[in-house]
Structure formats: C-alpha cells, structure tokens
Amino acid sequence: MASKREQLDELNKYWQENCQCELRKTAKQAVFGDGNAEAEIVFIGEAPGKNEDAGGKPFIGAAGKFLNEMLEGIGRKREDIYITNIVKYRPPNNRDPEPKEKEDCNEWLINELKIINPKLIVFLGRHSMTRFFPTEKISEIHGKLLLKNIPELEKKQAFLPLYHPAAALYNGGMRETLIKDFNKIPKALEKLS
Ligand code: URA
C-alpha cells in the first residue's frame, strides 16, 4: 500500500496534467497542497496569490507569515499540518475564484482530503467554507466546531471555520477574533479524540 505522501504525489501528477481549470492559462504553475500528509489538521484557503504562484507553495506571503505565527501560538509548526486551497491556480490580479473554477478543481481537493483523512478541517475564509456549508455566513459561524456528514468524504467530518488571515491581517477587530478562534484548535482536537 502506497504511503499517503506517495498517494498525494500521484494525485498531484494526475491533476496537474488533467485539471480543466481555465486559470491554468494565466497562472505560472499549479500550487499543490503542502505539508504533512499524516496531519490531523488540514487548512483550506481560497486560491494562490502572487507569491504562491511564483514560489509554487501555498501561503508563503504575508497571510502565510501570519498563519505561521498563529500556529506557533498553539505550539505547532507548518510541518505538523497540511495546507491547501480550493483552487490550485492563481486567479488574475487575485480576483475571487469563479464557481466554474472552483468546480474544475473540486475533485482534486476532495481526493486530497480523502487521502489525508484529517481529524479536523479548518476553513481559512468563506470560499472554502461555502464549499461544504453553502448557505452559511462566515461572520455567523466562525470559531464554531461543526460536524457534518460529507458523502464525498464518506465520513462525518469536523470543521472549524475561521476568517481568512489576509482579510484579518490589517483589520484590528477581525485579527483579534481570528486569533481567538485559532486558539480553539487544540481544544477542538482534544474533543474529537
Ligand atoms: N491566500 C490563499 O487563500 N491561499 C494562498 O495560498 C495564499 C493566500
């Protein structure tokens, strides 16, 4: 049986060749999920930005630095977690990804999640939240531990929605809320054990 890392490498190789997302035409490269294939937490962001498009890894710009600081605050490192995006290619000028682009990258994401099979999925912002909770508002459910049966994942999955670190970076109130919500991760994991 191939390891989770090997399965992810195989998955990325397949989708890099077969993803039909139109953003491939304007992006420099696909930005694969990154981190520990055995992680118990998976973070899901929106889409790569300029730094990620150039560097080929998710969350390596200012939002990523802020995320690393928050991880340190709960005694974890980037190497302990896995992080990916709803859309694997940078939208031009960092515009929001469109529904069709999300749809075209969806199977890639779902298979990533099935391989890792995390205890907890943390949404970074509304784009990843609405993939699994289409009628909810991030302003109403941020910081709440949610359990939902996800047929595609073939399991009851735990989720923690958070504000996006890029949105919270320069917004004092939202930043404070995000840090407070982020600090709930260890307790949430304990609860799920
Ligand atoms: N914002 C995201 O949502 N994803 C990244 O990879 C970087 C910034």
**Average pLDDT of every residue of the chain:** 97
Give pLDDT, residue 57.
98
Binding site membership of 45 for ligand 1 (Cβ less than 6 Å): yes
* Cα-to-centroid distance, 190 and ligand 1 (Å): 27
Binding site membership of 46 for ligand 1 (Cβ less than 6 Å): yes
Number of folded domains in the chain?
1
Q: Which atom number of ligand 1 is nearest to the Cα of residue 51?
A: 7
Please give the DSSP secondary-structure letter assigned to residue 91. P
167, pLDDT greater than 90: yes
How many percent of the chain have pLDDT more than 90?
99
88, pLDDT greater than 90: yes
76, pLDDT greater than 90: yes
By residue count, the chain amounts to 193
* Cα-to-centroid distance, 188 and ligand 1 (Å): 24
Q: Which atom number of ligand 1 is nearest to the Cα of residue 85?
A: 4
Average pLDDT over residues 149-157: 97
The tally of CA atoms less than 13 A away on the side-chain side of residue 27 is 28
CATH of the domain at 41: 3.40.470.10
Give pLDDT, residue 22.
96
* Cα-to-centroid distance, 1 and ligand 1 (Å): 32
Tokens of 151: 């047929």
Residue 104 vs residues 8, 20, 125, 159: alpha-carbon distances, Å:
18, 6, 20, 23
17, pLDDT greater than 90: yes
101, pLDDT greater than 90: yes
**What's the CA gap between 118 and 33, in Å, rounded?**
14
113, pLDDT greater than 90: yes
179, pLDDT greater than 90: yes
Binding site membership of 48 for ligand 1 (Cβ less than 6 Å): yes
How many percent of the chain have pLDDT more than 70?
100
Q: Read off the pLDDT band of 1 (50, 70, 90).
A: confident
State the maximum Cα–Cα separation within the chain, in Å, rounded to a whole number: 48
**What's the CA gap between 72 and 148, in Å, rounded?**
28
Binding site membership of 59 for ligand 1 (Cβ less than 6 Å): yes
- In terms of Cα–Cα distance, which of 109, 85, 84, 107 is closest to 96? 85
Give pLDDT, residue 50.
97
Domain hosting 15: range is 4-192
CB 84 within 8 A of CB 123: no
**What's the CA gap between 30 and 96, in Å, rounded?**
17
Average pLDDT over residues 158-186: 97
* Cα-to-centroid distance, 51 and ligand 1 (Å): 9
Give pLDDT, residue 175.
97
Residue 83 vs residues 7, 26, 48, 116, 137: alpha-carbon distances, Å:
16, 23, 12, 11, 22
Average pLDDT over residues 68-80: 97
Give pLDDT, residue 135.
97
- Contacts of residue 104, defined as CB under 8 A and 6 or more positions apart, other chains included, come to 19, 20, 21, 22
- Model's pTM, two decimal places? 0.97
Q: Read off the pLDDT band of 2 (50, 70, 90).
A: very high
Q: DSSP H helical segments within the chain, as ranges?
A: 4-18, 50-55, 62-73, 99-104, 106-116, 126-132, 138-141, 165-168, 172-182, 185-192
